[in-house]
Amino acid sequence: MNTKLYIPLRWKFLMILTLCTGLTLLFVLLGRLFVSYVIVHPPYNLPFKWMINHIGSKPLSLVTAIAFFLFLYIIATRPITRYAKDISAVLQDMADGQLNASAKVKYADELGTIATRINSLSGQIDSYLQEINHGLNEIAQGHFDYDISVRENHELGKIADSINFMSAQLNHSIQEERNAEKTKNDLITGVSHDLRTPLTSILGFLEIIDKDRYKDEVELRYYMNIAYDKALSLKKLIDDLFEYTRINNGMPLHLHPLDMSDFLGQLADEFVPSLERAGMTIQIHAPEQPLQIRADGDQLVRAYENLLSNAIKYGSKGKYIDIYIQETEDRQISVQICNYGDPIPKRDLPFIFDRFYRVEQSRSKETGGTGLGLAITKSIIEVHGGRISVNSDSNQTVFETRFPSVSSN
């Protein structure tokens, strides 16, 4: 607790002026008495007589009084000016980078207040810098989720906020790199597994043929047909894998306005032979006015081919497929492809768009599935700025895609 009496500088200077004036008057009075005493005692009176005769007593008294006053004023104000210089030196140290410098609080006046504020500022800056430095050390050690406290309306707070943002971005980049590495490893593992199975079968049947371990030409053709089918499956897997990697590595898009009603109507016509073989029909429900999105039709057709192929393969029990095209309240073009076959188990719905994921392994293999079709579909939809979802219950299975409407751009 500061017990010093607070005396403003103006009062201190007024006291100094008053004291110096009083001492000067006293000095002049005593000087006059001294001169009046010495002037009558030769030979000590010779210098005084000469100055009085040549300068005059009044000018001599005035010059002496001024000189004595200035001497007293300089001596009396020296502690204040020296204190001001000490404070200035502390500020210079802070300007030179010694932000933890502190000033000694000597007096309870404006200069003492300045020194106190400097010490407070120095302490706050030094404390916050230590906090920021600690945060940087944590980030340097790999703790990218460490957040430095951000002080509002503080310039260092802006630096802390920038560091936090940089840390978050760096953490995001590292996570993306790790995810990319994991995705690559998972892709290699999945590809290796799915390539090995048909390749093993092909080699096995070719070995039987090569070593003439077949009974007759009928059995030979049977083994050759199996090897041929496996080779076709292998080719389809490689084609799908190439398509998937091409899409995810950033395929070029040629975007143009595309009317989804016309687009899906033409695509449905191409599926007429497949629909007839499955005993199914497609019903398109769309408004009369065009519903346009910006898309690359050559690329987008692959996504909807996959969805319609799956609807025919796994929804043939329902005998028809409904396609609903509409514009939502948030200016999105929604396309729902509904089939009425067996439902997708709930446990499989979260993974339906994952690479190499098959809802029913045996059924997928029998129908020639590679496990990449829906993953390719999802990638094509997303590179167009859309999104895809699926819902399935005992009544129907619905794949829905949504794209921004051209009218909302």
Confidence of residue 400 (pLDDT cuts 50, 70, 90): very high
Domains along the sequence of the chain with CATH: 9-129 (no CATH), 164-247 (1.10.287.130), 254-408 (3.30.565.10)
Q: Is the predicted pLDDT of residue 256 greater than 50, yes or no?
A: yes
Range scoring the smallest mean pLDDT among 30-44, 198-212, 280-294, 321-335: 30-44
pLDDT in tens, 135-185: 889 888 888 888 888 888 788 888 888 888 888 888 888 887 887 677 666
pLDDT in tens, 99-144: 788 888 888 888 888 888 888 888 888 888 888 898 889 888 888 8
Instruction: Provide mean pLDDT across the span 210-218.
Output: 83
Q: Is the predicted pLDDT of residue 356 greater than 80, yes or no?
A: no
Confidence of residue 362 (pLDDT cuts 50, 70, 90): very low
pLDDT at 120: 87
Instruction: Provide mean pLDDT across the span 287-300.
Output: 89
Instruction: Provide mean pLDDT across the span 43-58.
Output: 70
Instruction: Provide mean pLDDT across the span 329-343.
Output: 91
Q: Is the predicted pLDDT of residue 378 greater than 80, yes or no?
A: yes
Instruction: Provide mean pLDDT across the span 18-47.
Output: 81
pLDDT at 1: 42
pLDDT at 21: 92
pLDDT at 174: 86
pLDDT-above-70 percentage for the chain? 85
Decide the pairing of beta strands 387-392 and 397-404. Answer: antiparallel
pLDDT at 391: 92
Whole-structure pTM value: 0.52
Q: Is the predicted pLDDT of residue 250 greater than 60, yes or no?
A: yes
Instruction: Name the average pLDDT for the chain.
Output: 83
pLDDT at 247: 65
Instruction: Provide mean pLDDT across the span 69-76.
Output: 92
pLDDT at 346: 87
pLDDT-above-90 percentage for the chain? 21
Confidence of residue 227 (pLDDT cuts 50, 70, 90): confident
Range scoring the smallest mean pLDDT among 161-170, 187-196, 296-305: 187-196
Q: Is the predicted pLDDT of residue 361 greater than 50, yes or no?
A: no
pLDDT at 99: 79
Confidence of residue 371 (pLDDT cuts 50, 70, 90): low
Confidence of residue 292 (pLDDT cuts 50, 70, 90): very high
User: Of the spans 28-37, 203-212, 290-299, which averages the highest pLDDT?
Assistant: 290-299
